[in-house]
Amino acid sequence: MKNINQSILLVSTLIFFSFVLGGCSSQKKATTETKKETPTEEYVEEDAPKTTNDRDCEMYGEKGKKTALTALTLYREDFKAKLYDAALPNWEYVYTNAPGLREQTFKDGDVMLKDLIDKETDPAKKKELFDRMMEISDQRAICWGKSAFLSGKKAYSYYKYYPEEEDKIFDFAEKSVLNGGNETPASQLKLYFRYVLKRLKDQKLNKDELSEAYNNIKTIIDHNLESGNSEYQDALDEIQPTYENLIDVLNPTTVSIKSCAEAKDYYGTKFNENQEDLTNIKKLYSAFLNFKCYDDPMFLQVTDKYNQLEPKASRLKTQGNIYRKQKDYAKALEFYQKAFDVESDNFKKAKIKMLMATMTAYDLPGKDFPTARKHALEAASLNPNWGKPYILIGRMYAGSGKLCGPGTGFESQKVLWPAMDMWNKAKRIDPSSADEAQKYINQYYQYMPEKKDLFVRSITPGSSYSIGCWIGGTSIARGK
């Protein structure tokens, strides 16, 4: 009996613990299930498939990769056979929906549009085709770069089809040189100089500006010749003698001047004897410009006196440049403003304002960004299709991390949103500046806020966000 009671007690004990453990297990399971119903919110990085190229241009479009590649293959087959009418519909699909797929699309479009333009006899339709060709060139600069080279290409296209558009030819040729720098092809340097001469003849440009343009060209040619690129010798042989002969005509003299020292010995002595002799002042000033005697103290004296007797925007700007080089920024701004007030050409006024903006932003000890932005926006209003002002404003925004925040973290990173807005605007309104704008986009993208930084602040990507600080306004929230 005793053994039976012990067995009953043992079984009862096992049942009790089984029930308790089972209850605990059930309770634990229930608790776990409850947690699954209300999970802890956390950021999960999702890698979306890449649909744009490095310049943010669509590679496939809404209908997807297969459709874009099929259209590409079909149009290329017709294009190679020179069946342009058959190629154009599929080419149009690729160009419109997948501009970031291949640069060749733009090159092929250029070939086909030229063929159509050359065959077209209706002037209105021809102009429509030409404008489309220019649009293709702009979009190529935005999506694939080479913006300075393409500006020069546009200048040649206007020169070929609409030579009467001299202002446009000059504008694109100048952008090709100023934006291209040492990379500017020799042929584009020659075209630019020819139109500098045309503007000189039409009194849209003076001898000071002629010297400035020549010095820019000569610097590029010298660099390439020193690098062993003999292609630029032909450009030098055409441009240098023309310029030197022209300077002799513009500044007639019976004296052979070959250096700064000789100019000072002859004209400088006369200047010291009589500083009201305008004829002598003109000759001395021209000689100083010709031989680049910018660091000679007498150059400032002569320029100042010349401006007192006969003020001119280009010389007032030159005087501002001298003061800027001497780090007398107050005087530099004073003379830039005088040049701005005297100048009547809006494009030239815009360039002066950009000098003031750049100096105010980066040369002044305090880096006065708000005033610099004001100057840059004035430049933009005077030349609405110029990207430089917006590139500068974007640089100032991007450089404001320590002004608008601690220097690191979200508060300092969000200033990159309006900076990106400015650089993208520059690309859009002035494709000739696309390479410079893209350079800054690429440089600063790595410092953008991450998507998880937006998540933890409950900021929806693509939503409007107030920037504050001196920048003000709103931008679009985005994360890398």
pLDDT tens track for 323-347? 999 999 999 999 999 999 999 999 9
Q: What percent of the chain has pLDDT over 90?
A: 79
pLDDT higher than threshold 50 for residue 20: no
C-alpha of 203 from chain center: 30
pLDDT higher than threshold 50 for residue 27: no
Domain boundaries, the chain: 55-144, 147-250, 385-480
Q: Is 40 left (phi over 0), alpha (psi -120 to 50) or beta?
A: beta
Indicate the average pLDDT of the chain.
89
- Which helix (H) or strand (E) covers residue 286, if one does? helix 278-290
pLDDT higher than threshold 70 for residue 301: yes
Provide the pLDDT for residue 47.
Answer: 57
Lowest mean pLDDT among 102-116, 145-159, 242-256: 242-256
Surface-to-core class of residue 454, CB atoms within 10 Å of its CB (0-12 exposed, 13-18 middle, 19+ buried): buried
**Whole-number Å distance between alpha carbons of 225 and 256:** 28
pLDDT tens track for 193-240? 999 999 999 999 998 899 999 999 999 999 999 999 999 999 999 999
Provide the pLDDT for residue 290.
Answer: 82
What token pair was written down for 376? 């840059």
Provide the pLDDT for residue 36.
Answer: 36
Provide the pLDDT for residue 99.
Answer: 98
Instruction: Using DSSP, state whether 163 is helix, strand or coil.
Output: coil
What token pair was written down for 77? 């087959």
pLDDT tens track for 459-473? 999 999 999 999 999
Is residue 247 very low, low, confident or very high in pLDDT (cuts 50, 70, 90)?
confident
Average pLDDT over residues 121-137: 97
Average pLDDT over residues 24-40: 38
Place of tokens 């030579």: 163
Name the DSSP letter for residue 364.
S
**Whole-number Å distance between alpha carbons of 302 and 308:** 10
Surface-to-core class of residue 232, CB atoms within 10 Å of its CB (0-12 exposed, 13-18 middle, 19+ buried): buried
pLDDT higher than threshold 50 for residue 14: no
pLDDT tens track for 64-77? 999 999 999 999 99
| Beta carbons of 220 and 181 less than 8 angstroms apart | yes
Helix (H), strand (E) counts: the chain: 24, 2
Q: Collect all residues with Cβ–Cβ distance below 8 Å to 119 and sequence separation of at least 6.
A: none
First vs last C-alpha separation in the chain: 80
- The single-letter code of the amino acid at 393 is I
pLDDT higher than threshold 50 for residue 13: no
Instruction: Using DSSP, state whether 312 is helix, strand or coil.
Output: coil
Is residue 379 very low, low, confident or very high in pLDDT (cuts 50, 70, 90)?
very high
Average pLDDT over residues 421-446: 96
Furthest-apart CA atoms within the chain: distance in Å: 147
| Beta carbons of 187 and 212 less than 8 angstroms apart | no
**Whole-number Å distance between alpha carbons of 311 and 281:** 13
**Whole-number Å distance between alpha carbons of 432 and 444:** 21
pLDDT higher than threshold 90 for residue 311: yes
- The single-letter code of the amino acid at 63 is K
**Whole-number Å distance between alpha carbons of 123 and 162:** 11
> Of 294, 243, 287, nearest to 264 (Cα)?
287
pLDDT higher than threshold 80 for residue 18: no
Instruction: Using DSSP, state whether 83 is helix, strand or coil.
Output: coil
**Whole-number Å distance between alpha carbons of 339 and 317:** 6
Provide the pLDDT for residue 332.
Answer: 97
- Strand 464-466 relative to strand 474-476, pairing: antiparallel
Instruction: Using DSSP, state whether 466 is helix, strand or coil.
Output: strand
Surface-to-core class of residue 164, CB atoms within 10 Å of its CB (0-12 exposed, 13-18 middle, 19+ buried): exposed
Is residue 166 very low, low, confident or very high in pLDDT (cuts 50, 70, 90)?
very high
> Which of 235-249, 356-370, 373-387 reaches the highest mean pLDDT?
373-387
